[in-house]
Structure formats: C-alpha cells, structure tokens
Chain A
Amino acid sequence: MQVTSETFEDLRTDFPVLERKVRDGKDLVYFDNAATTQKPNQVIDAITNYYRNHNSNIHRAVHALAEESTEAFEMTRDKVAKFLNIQDRQEIVFVKGTTEAINLVAYAWGRENVNEGDIVVTTEYEHHSNIVPWQLLTQEKKAKLKYIDIDENGELILDQLDEYLETGKVKLVTFSHMSNVLGTITNTQQIISKCKNAGVKTLVDGAQSVPHMKVNLSTLDCDFFAFSAHKMLGPTGVGVLWAKKEILEKMQPFLGGGDMIREVHKYETTWNDLPYKFEAGTPNIADVIGFATAIEYLEKIGMENIRNHEVELTKYALEKMTKIKGITLYGTKDMERRGGVISFNFNDVHPHDVATIIDKEGVAIRSGHHCAQVLMEKLNVAATNRASFYIYNTKEEVDKLISSLEKVAKVFKL
C-alpha cells in the first residue's frame, strides 16, 4: 500500500469519535494516545459482530458457536505471533493488560526465582506497573530493588546497570521499551545483551513501543515482553504476555480455575498445556477477537509508516513549542531516540490548569504524574502536561494545541 500524508488524513473517517464535538461545539483534538487510543469502525464492528453472531464460551463445547468463537479467539494469537515475529504461538498468553502481564511474571516467576539478597533492577522512567509489582516481590522476599537513573537528556545511565550486574546478585532487569512520559526509546538491545552475558533475565514493557514502531521479538531476544491492545486501536481489557517457552513451562500458574487445568482431583491438579496454563477462567473473548482487527488495521498501514508519521508530527510540534516563551520540554531532542510523546510544563502554571483551559478548546491532553511518580521526583516537578500522537493526528491539530496554549498564557497573564 502506497502511504502518503493523505493516507493518514483519510483514515480519520474510520474513527467515529473524531467526528464529534466537545465543549460547546469544538472539534475534538485527541492527544492522549499514550493513555489509550481511539478505535476504528473496523474494530468496533468486529466486537459487535462477535456478540451478534457468534457469542459463545471457548475451548470446551462442541456446538457451532463455540467452534467459531474458539477459532476467532485463537486466530488472534496467530496474528500476534506474525505481528511480532514470534515463532511459537504457545508463548503468547492473553491477559487483561500490561499491568497484569507484569504482575503475572512477578508472582509466578519472581516468587520462585528471586530470593533474599537478590536484586531486581528497574529504571527511573518506569510506569507504576513496572515498579509496584517488584516492590511487593522484593519486600516479601527481602530482596533489593535497584534503579537505573536517567541523565539530563532523559536517557538511562547504563554504566549503573554494569555495576549492578557485577554484584552477581541480579535476577531480573525490567524496563520499558519506550518511556510513557519522556518518549525516550530505550537502548533495549544493549541492555539485553549485557544481561545475557551476565545470565540475567530481562522483561521489556512494550506498552508504548508496540503501537508505534516495528517490534521483532525474535531478534530482540528478551525473556519476557508485555503490552496492551487498547493503546494500539484495540479494545480495553486485552493484553499480551510473551515469554520464552522454557521459562513458561517451569513457571507455576498465576491464577487457578477453569481452562488452565488438565485434570483436577480432590487434592491435586495437573496443568493444561501452554499458554492455557496461564489463562484461567473465561477470557475476554470479544475483545481479543476485536484486537485481531486492530492488528490487521495497523499492518495495512505498516509500522514503519506509522513511526515516520509520528516522527514528523513530533518534530513539527517540538519546533513550534520551542518557540513559546516559558515552555519547558522534557526528554531528548534526538528524534531517533524518542517516540511521539511530548511532556512539557508551561511557566508556573500547574498542568491541571493548562489541561482544563485547553480542554475548553477541544484539545485533550494528559496532565498529572502519568503513573510515573518516581520520574516526577527526578524531574523535580509535581506533574507535567503530555501530548501524545497517533496515526489519525494531523499538523493542523498540532496548530490547535499551540493556539490553545496562547489562551493559557492569556488567562494566566504570562
């Protein structure tokens, strides 16, 4: 498919919510894509079609609806495998989101493999979902949680990782592929290769990377990888944990219940095969099926094209924002090293006030600590504003953000 800037403009009609008005007739400018993305008609229709025509529980009954539902559900697993170049579909576990995926690893792998005195390494720019599960684990096990700090460009100081690895105590290094606040793209390959040399496992939080760039899990070669469907046009309540088969096989289950068992007796149970061992209970069938359509949609545009579109928008926005007096921008200026996320502060105006004023102009950004309070402490701010882009955003919308910031300046007499 030949992709031009018109392609991106045209696909806006697939997203019904982009047609609506907000706040007394203003066009919606949706720049909160790092939190969740909007859904195209194709995805909405896939979910509706499932409930209208196929709805059934899966993996058990032999009737027609059950077979159709099972097939559609399992087809998503194949789509995910192809999308991320995963060789073995049994390594793909459906969960309800990145948070659950990380908690699954912390519980089922961490409790068996992290002991007193061991170290789990995370980073200063993690989302709370990649900090709190490890706090719970290391506190329970009397292990230590260590952080890789960031430098003034918002990049990880990897010398610190070397120091931690030299202790020989590190069991896991867990980090985000792309920061949800700074947009920094982590030097993932380098971290993984350092860890492999030291025989240490790695977990990559791909919540912000998979929606925005080509990810190849075969070449990345981490041990665990987690991401969410709703940040990539898919429905909420669906996520994926990918892990190497030999690791999943050795892990105890996370949740016990239906579908994850082979045989249940009064006092003992044997586990189902992978990945079902980790998929207890009726899964989120409709939304998993909707997720397949989201992947198809993204594949049709092409992840490289999506990345280029976002780079162009981000460059454009940064250029304009740099010129506004009193704007503080966070993160690296090197577009090779960052995604389509811009965190900023505007003079002494609290981000909540900025967001409220520009919301009246129809511009939706996120303000707050973005579930990254450790990073906020590091930046020495209570909160930031964050504009984050996706495939349907345009330069005209960036212009609206810029002009709405002028309103903020006027209200606060800057």
Chain B
Amino acid sequence: MSGDPIYTEMIIEYSRNPSNYGKLENPQVIRHDSNPLCGDSIDLYLNIDDKKITDVRFDGKGCAICMACSSVLTEMIKGKDLDYVKKFEKDELLSELGLEHLIKTSPVRIKCALLSLKALKYGIYSYFAEKMDDVESAGNLKDEAANLY
C-alpha cells in the first residue's frame, strides 16, 4: 500500500486483541459515544479514586483504528492523575500508533482514531462539573471534546 501506513502490525494486533476491553462494575464514569457515519460505537468506563484513574475499560464495536486507539488510550491513562488526563492531547495518542498523518490525510478516519478520546474528555468533563465542582476545568474539557474533530 502506498502513502502513510494505517494498517501496521500494531494496529491489526490491537484490533484483534484490544486492551482493557470489557465493562467495569459500578464505575464512577460511563460515557457512550459513536460516529454516526461509520458506525463506530463505544462505551468508556472509568474508576476514579483520589483524583487518579484507578481503572479503565471500554467496550463496543468499531473498526481497527478505533479499537487500536481505544486500547492505547486506556493503557496510557490507567493509573494516571486526573490532571494528566485533563491535559492529555490527541497528538500523544496518535503518535503512539503512528497515525499523526490521519489529521491531514483522512478527515473521515481521524474520527475513528479519536472517538475514545472524545468519550474520555466528555466523561471527565461531567466528573469535574458534578463531583469536583471545578467549573472552569469542566468548561475547558467540554470545549476540547466538542472541537476534537
């Protein structure tokens, strides 16, 4: 295949064996999101304790890019402080899988790549707003999620 690769070994591997796949019992945050055009649809589950992501899972149906990015995202944020997650940027996720080029080359597939990040930002937005009463952070997170793609 020509051009920037999408279907690397790593992405195929994650799509077959996603990390942190499944549900959490009684999570603090559940966030559903979907891409209406392509049919990717995921639920993201977060356990948060003492401003730390103590556990994270996702489940749903999606393409290889969506499955791989969701897997990597959950790996990257597990055990991290909310502060880190709040500042976490899309480039960090995309570069982990060598998918930075999607921003320029594929406005359609970038949605597959960033769906889980969008769910994460919306998910912790409501957590900041409702559980931590941090209106400013919540507002920023909501804007970021809305403008992710």
Contacts and interface: CB of A to CB of B under 8 A. Distances in A.
B38 interface: yes
Interface centre among A23, A352, A412 (most CB of B within 10 A): A352
Contacts of A353: 7, 15, 63-65
B64 A382 contact: no
Given A352-B109, A353-B64, A368 B6 contact: no
B38 A360 contact: no
Interface in B54-70: 61-66
Contact of A407 (B1, B61, B62): B1
Contact of A360 (B2, B61, B65): B2
A59 interface: no
B43 to A, nearest CB: 14
Nearest to B12: A412
A411 interface: yes
A376 B34 CA distance: 15
A368 B2 contact: no
A412 B64 CA distance: 10
A230 to B, nearest CB: 19
B41 interface: yes
B107 interface: no
Nearest to B2: A24
A352 B12 contact: no
Contact of A382 (B15, B61, B109, B112): B61
Contacts of B38: 351-352, 367-368, 383
Nearest to A354: B63
Interface string A1-42: 000000000000000000000011000000000000000000
Nearest to A407: B1
Contacts of A349: 64
A25 to B, nearest CB: 9
A400 interface: no
Contacts of B3: 23-24, 360
A352 B1 contact: no
* Chain B interface bracket (under 10, 10 to 19, 20 to 34, 35 or more): 20 to 34
A356 B61 CA distance: 17
Give the interface size bracket for A toward B: 20 to 34
B109 to A, nearest CB: 6
A350 B2 contact: no
Given A350-B64, A352-B112, A369 B39 contact: yes
A360 B2 CA distance: 7
A247 to B, nearest CB: 34
B1 A360 contact: yes
Interface string A83-96: 00000000000000
Interface string A370-410: 00000010000011000000000000000000000001000
A413 interface: yes
A16 B115 CA distance: 37
A413 B2 contact: no
B7 A350 contact: no
A382 B2 contact: no
A350 B12 contact: no
Given A369-B39, A382-B61, A412-B12, A356 B109 contact: yes
A357 interface: yes
A147 B51 CA distance: 49
Contacts of B112: 352
Contact of B7 (A23, A376, A411): A411
A297 B40 CA distance: 40
A413 B37 CA distance: 27
Given A360-B1, A360-B3, A413-B12, A383 B39 contact: yes
Contact of B12 (A351, A356, A411): A411
A357 B63 contact: no
Interface string B6-32: 110000100110000000000000000
Nearest to A348: B16
Contacts of B1: 357, 360, 407, 411
Interface in A289-343: none
Interface centre among A24, A356, A369 (most CB of B within 10 A): A356
Nearest to A24: B2
Given A368-B37, A382-B41, A350 B6 contact: no
Nearest to B6: A356
Counting from the closest, the 9 A-B pairs by CB-CB distance are A350-B63, A383-B39, A352-B63, A382-B61, A382-B39, A24-B2, A411-B7, A353-B64, A352-B38
Given A350-B62, A356-B106, 14 more contacts: A23-B2, A350-B64, A351-B63, A352-B38, A352-B40, A353-B7, A353-B63, A353-B64, A356-B6, A368-B39, A369-B39, A383-B38, A412-B12, A413-B12
30 contacts: A23-B2, A24-B2, A349-B64, A350-B15, A350-B61, A350-B63, A350-B64, A351-B39, A352-B38, A352-B40, A352-B65, A352-B112, A353-B15, A353-B64, A353-B65, A357-B1, A357-B7, A360-B3, A368-B37, A376-B39, A382-B41, A382-B61, A382-B62, A383-B39, A407-B1, A411-B7, A411-B12, A412-B7, A412-B12, A413-B12
